[in-house]
Amino acid sequence: MTTVHEGTPETTQKTDRLTLAEILEIFAGGRLPLRFTAYDGSSAGPPDAALGLELKTPRGTTYLATGRGDLGLARAYIAGDLDVHGVHPGDPYDLLKALADALVFKLPPPRVMAQVIRSIGVEHLRPVAPPPEEIPARWRRVAGGIRHSKGRDAEAIHHHYDVSNTFYEWVLGPTMTYTCACYPRPDATLDEAQENKYRLVFEKLRLKPGDSLLDVGCGWGGMVRYAARRGVRATGVTLSAEQTSWAQRAIAEEGLGDVAAVRFGDYRDVTETGFDAVSSIGLLEHIGVRNYAAYFTFLRSRLRPGGLLLNHCITRPDNKSEASARGFIDRYVFPDGELTGSGRIIGEAQDAGLEVLHEENLRPHYALTLRDWCANLVDNWDAAVAEVGLPTAKVWGLYMAGSRLAFESGGIQLHQVLAVRPNDGSTSDTLPLRPWWSP
């Protein structure tokens, strides 16, 4: 590929100072799948490329030079110092996929690296303040308490879930369900798939009229209301004040107040016991791996003997990777989030005295869910920007499109684990010999 200064002949004598486009080509090994242009007038990549990146300001260079991993790119993009072309900011999936498929960054030899540093300038190697949407590094969050203490968990949930109920309505659609759907067929709508997910959880838990359900980390109360409509006494708990108010209003509007309730608080503060079933849909990601033993022990203690637990959460494809999220996800999306493999989750559940009956991976379904959430954001883009601001809207488009790519590639997965609190010997085991729900 040819790197040129706009408005100058390609044969212009090169100096020791590299252009920004030349620097990018060095790190990319000359393999740019898109068009790159920069404020210094340089450009690289195919001139007729459908996709492009535009570095607009010196501050953007500083963000890119000082941010580790994907953090620098995210900072420059969210702050408006880096623009994308050929994709909608509500769904930059195609651009991210092109970068993931074709771009492999490699460090140049020391002599070339020294030339790169001289060309960038030491002024761009000193970190500057990140966009205000970014939260501090983990070590600076200790003022809010140790990681996964009740106070710090509450603050993390507030950061992610208390964005705006109106914003979530536009992105999530009528079901207000912010967890992986389960598509009964390839052409199913998002709403059909979310309804089918609740059906799957309901049937795995063998719920029937008159039973009691505890839904921890209940979000906007989707599972609570689904169960209550079918005669189950359902209680949900969430650390999000916005979710609580929305769910309580929805329960009242549907006339479910006699059988459904959603409260604001930590799941560890639930005092009732003897539930026929417990559902945990998208909570474990916020718990912290070191707290799994206490988490499963607590949920077991809320169940009656013979009661069932369904744990639904995002996982890593192995049980060895570091659990803590880093970079963009930790600073902008899920503060203090941690993921591990399904094997670790199953092991912790078993060690807490639960008998694991079944597990399955819904990874492809989450990719489809994120595709549809991005489509909703694109359709409601102007209203979403007016509601939460352009930087926050861009965070969500980037986060959801990037997550879709990760689910498609297998970098992250979604596992449902079904377990039972064993009977104490005084009652007989009435579970069927084979799974009793539809695939």
Residue 110: the pLDDT is 92
Residue 334: the pLDDT is 85
Residue 30: the pLDDT is 76
Residue 283: the pLDDT is 96
Helix, strand, or coil (residue 60): helix
Rounded Cα gap, residues 73 and 327, in angstroms? 10
Q: CB-hemisphere CA count at 13 Å for 46? A: 8
Residue 162: the pLDDT is 57
Residue 412: the pLDDT is 97
Domain 150-420 part of CATH 3.40.50.150: yes
CA distances in angstroms from 374 to 102, 172, 283, 325, 393, listed in the order given: 23, 9, 22, 22, 11
Q: Where are the domains of the chain?
A: 4-125, 150-420
> Of the candidates 194, 419, 193, 413, which has an alpha carbon nearest to the alpha carbon of residue 314?
413
Task: Kindly report whether the global pTM for this prediction surpasses the value 0.75.
Answer: yes
Q: What is the mean pLDDT of each run of 10 residues along the chain (439 residues)?
A: 40 68 90 93 95 97 92 96 98 96 84 93 92 77 54 52 84 97 97 98 98 97 98 96 96 98 96 98 94 97 97 97 87 89 98 97 98 98 96 96 97 98 77 88
Rounded Cα gap, residues 192 and 336, in angstroms? 32
Which value, to the nearest 10 degrees, does the dihedral of the CA atoms of residues 162, 167, 171, 173 take?
A: 100
Residue 142: the pLDDT is 53
Residue 1: the pLDDT is 42
Residue 12: the pLDDT is 37
Residue 13: the pLDDT is 41
